[in-house]
Amino acid sequence: MKILVPIKRVVDYNVKVRLKSDRSGVDLDNVKMSINPFDEIAIEQAVRLKEAGVASEVVVVSVGSQGCQDIIRTALAVGADRGIHVLAEDGIEPLSVAKTLKAVAEQESPKLLLLGKQAIDDDSNQTGQMLAALLHWPQGTFASEMEIEGEELTVTREVDAGLEVLKMPLPAVVTCDLRLNEPRYASLPNIMKAKRKPIDTLDISSLGVDTTPRFTAVSYAMPEQRKGGVMVSSIDELIEKLKSEAKVL
Amino acid sequence: MKILVIAEHLNNQLISATLNAVGAAKTLASYTSDSTIDVLVAGHQCSDVAQECQRISGVNNVLHAEAEYYAGGLAENVAQLVLEVTENESYDAIISASTTFGKNVSPRISALLDVAQVSDVTSIENVGIYQRYIYTSNILLTLESKEKVQILTIRTTAFEKAGMEGQAEVKNIAAAADVGLSQFVRTELVESDRPDLSTASVVVSGGRGLGSDQNYRDILEPLADKLGAALGASRAAVDAGYVPNDYQVGQTGKIVAPELYIAVGISGAIQHLAGMSDSKVIVAINKDPDAPIFQYADYGLEGDLFTLVPELTECLAQS
């Protein structure tokens, strides 16, 4: 079976982002970009399913600017078979991304769509669920374990109260949580091999998706920083401060 | 405007985040005249939940749909029901709490209605004007949505809970047909006598500095018992296996905003700060004077947690 893994290029998670000087948006010039960490987990899971003989082909797809080629190449180096780059502006809203991915899924007919549970830039946590809805497929979100037997998928989900187990038929959409696996690093030979793997480029306009934004940004701000507090030298002083100053004890 | 709040429940009990979602609905309603707030309860044998929802202040109607296939709050079936209810009743806004249930179901509803969703809203400035954090709580975005239906998930710690002095009417509504896509198998709950982490007024949280699951329990539980606190953890402590993942506070775990947050052996990575920086008072106990957590803590104490935390517990016991 074929697995399609949508991945997003985002600011590296170690980068402390800043606003542009005119506060019109987030300053992304000369900032290190990487694969969204949750998507790395999705790639790893897909590659493991291939190694286990469950999947026959792993295709990664990314929607965005030219820079997406780099993250597709990284995914290929980790073990994906080929890539699809849907050339579009960066920052397309989740609903439009979901519609784009639906169009790609209809062309590719995968049995499983594996996504990260959220992107660490917009923190929306929407695309996988929207994509499942548009395809009328079942969804297993926030997966920390998954098992495929024949045409049936069992997903263990991380929920507020603990864990939840669902069963669903394939094809299905799964969004990956951090504990699903530990992504591997690409080896140098695999990075070299990845250069020969194919990446198809499509223009988003060829997919007939309306990407008109539904939202307009009114303003961006840095959240109020907490005031640096005081260091206390003993437990007695701490308790005293919590009682008389902070009044929380 | 007509607002629908999707109730969340587990084991025939209302999840309190629903009250925060009604609180957010009241805020949204305050910007227009003639607003109504309905609550949808979809489940299997959950009439107690529907009755409890009747008492939520500010609620006009409780819509109760009963079917076996609503057990476990399956996204596919709940979303289909909400789609039909929304089309019948022409709701202008649909609000859920930004819990794992809300995050799972709400985007599915949004896509079915062809409407973009605003996730994890921290402030409602007007109808269509919302604030939310992006980039791991490092940037506060104010955005405008002109969508025909306003679909929001709300950060529970940012909205007051609605009270329980209401007298709404329960209307039994027909279940939507079973979508038949997925099947609920079981929930594995973590049993605890402690207050719920998301809503506790005091949280004691431990990180990798504790060294082991045994130390986590031995050091932090007596302190939490003394304070009536919920126990939390950093991702490092969860990944090291000290505690289950539902203890995790942070961007990918729970967002908390207690009166008092005590961080023990936690360095303060931005992913962790994203989950607790709205706490009223933050105390950090750490042996590393350069730990970033000290830049956010109201009170920092540098030293060995293995002597300081038992001393703190002891002093609290005496006073």
CATH number of the domain enclosing B263 = 3.40.50.1220
Same domain? For B154 and B261 the reply is: no
Q: Give the per-residue pLDDT at A42.
A: 98
A115 three-state secondary structure: strand
Predicted pLDDT at A224: 84
Q: What is the pLDDT of residues A115-131, one digit of tens each?
A: 999 999 999 999 999 99
Q: What is the pLDDT of residue B67?
A: 97
- Contact between residue A236 and residue B315 where contact means Cβ atoms under 8 Å apart: yes
**One domain for residues B157 and B207:** no
Within-domain flag for B314? yes
Q: With a threshold of 0.90, does the pTM exceed it?
A: yes
Q: Last residue of a domain, which of B132, B156, B173? A: B173
Pairing verdict, β B150-154 and B117-126: parallel
Same domain, B119 and B216: no
Instruction: Check whether residue B100 and residue B215 sit in a common domain.
Output: no
What number of other Cβ atoms are within 10 A of residue A136's Cβ?
12
Beta bridge partners of B300: A231, B284
- Nearest CA to A237 out of B4, B168, B302 is that of B302
- Torsions phi, psi of B271, nearest 5? -65, -30
Cβ-based burial of B274 (10 A; exposed 0-12, middle 13-18, buried ≥19): buried
Question: How many inter-chain contacts (A to B, CB under 8 Å) are there?
Answer: 247
Measured in whole angstroms, the distance separating CA B285 from the mean position of its chain's CA atoms is 26
B81 and B228 together in one domain: no
In a domain, B123, yes or no: yes
Helix (H, G, I), strand (E, B) or coil at A50: helix
Q: How high does pLDDT run on average in chain A? A: 96
Name residue, tokens 């784009």.
A100
Predicted local confidence at residue B237, as pLDDT: 96
State pLDDT tens for residues A51-95.
999 999 999 999 999 999 999 999 999 999 999 999 999 999 999
> Would residue B130 count as lying in a domain?
yes
Span B257-309, pLDDT tens digits: 999 999 999 999 999 999 999 999 999 999 999 999 999 999 999 999 999 99
Question: Which residues of B line the annotated binding site for FAD?
Answer: 208, 234-235, 248-252, 265-272, 286
Are residues B231 and B155 both part of a single domain? no
| pLDDT (0 to 100) of residue B168 | 97
Q: Are A142 and B187 an interchain contact pair (Cβ–Cβ within 8 Å)? A: no
Query: What order do you get walking across the sheet with B117-126 strand by strand?
Result: A215-221, B139-145, B129-134, B117-126, B150-154, B93-97, B2-6, B36-43, B61-66, B169-173
How does pLDDT run across B148-200, given as a tens digit for each residue?
999 999 999 999 999 999 999 999 999 999 999 999 999 998 777 899 898 89
Q: Under an 8 A CB cutoff, do B260 and A246 touch?
A: yes
Please state, in angstroms and as integers, the Cα–Cα distance from residue B245 to each residue in A159, B23, B166, B191, following that order. Answer: 9, 28, 36, 13
Distance separating alpha carbons of residues B278 and B155, to the nearest angstrom? 12
Q: Are residues B56 and B140 in the same domain?
A: yes
For residue B20, the surrounding DSSP H or E stretch is helix B17-29
- Asked whether the beta carbons of B258 and B273 are under 8 A apart, the reply is no
Q: Tell if the CB–CB gap between A235 and B107 is shorter than 8 Å.
A: no
Structural domains of chain B, count:
2
Note whether residue B82 is domain-resident. Answer: yes
Residue B118 CB contacts under 8 Å (≥ 6 apart), including other chains: A215, B130, B132, B143, B145, B150, B151, B152, B153
Nearest alpha-carbon partner for A173 in A156, A149, A153, A188? A153
Average pLDDT, chain B: 96
The domains of chain A, with CATH numbers, are 2-246 (3.40.50.620)
With 90 as the cut, is the pLDDT of residue B319 above it?
no
Say if residue B130 is in the same domain as residue B239.
no
> Do both B221 and B156 map to the same domain?
no
Q: Give the whole-angstrom CA distance, residue A128 versus residue B223.
A: 41
ipTM of predicted assembly, 2 dp? 0.96
Give me the count of residues in chain A. Answer: 249
Domain range holding B265?
202-318
The CATH number that applies at residue B44 is: 3.40.50.620
Residues in A touching B117 (Cβ below 8 Å) = 94-95, 124, 126
Contact A133 B297 (CB under 8 A): no
- A219: confidence class by pLDDT, cuts 50, 70, 90: very high
Q: Tell me, yes or no, whether B115 and B224 share the same domain.
A: no
Q: Is residue B6 part of a domain?
A: yes
| B286 contacts on A by Cβ (under 8 Å) | none
Residues sharing a CB contact under 8 Å with residue B222, sequence separation 6 or more, in sequence order: B310, B313
pLDDT at position A228 over 80: no
Task: Determine the residue type at B49.
Answer: V
Is there a domain that residue B178 lies in?
no
CB contact under 8 A, B101 and A165: no
User: pLDDT digit string (tens) for A25-35?
Assistant: 999 999 999 99
- The verdict on residue B185 lying in a domain is no
Q: How many other CB atoms are found less than 10 A from the CB of residue A247?
A: 11
Q: Establish if B252 belongs to a structural domain.
A: yes
User: Does residue A149 sit at the B interface (CB-CB below 8 Å)?
Assistant: no
Mean pLDDT of B116-127: 98
The tokens for A163 are 């864990």
Rounded mean pLDDT, B193-217: 95
A231 touches chain B (CB under 8 A): yes
Residues B24 and B169 in one domain: yes
Q: Are residues B153 and B234 in the same domain?
A: no
**Predicted local confidence at residue B170, as pLDDT:** 97
Percent of chain B with pLDDT over 70: 100
pLDDT computed for residue B300 by the predictor: 97
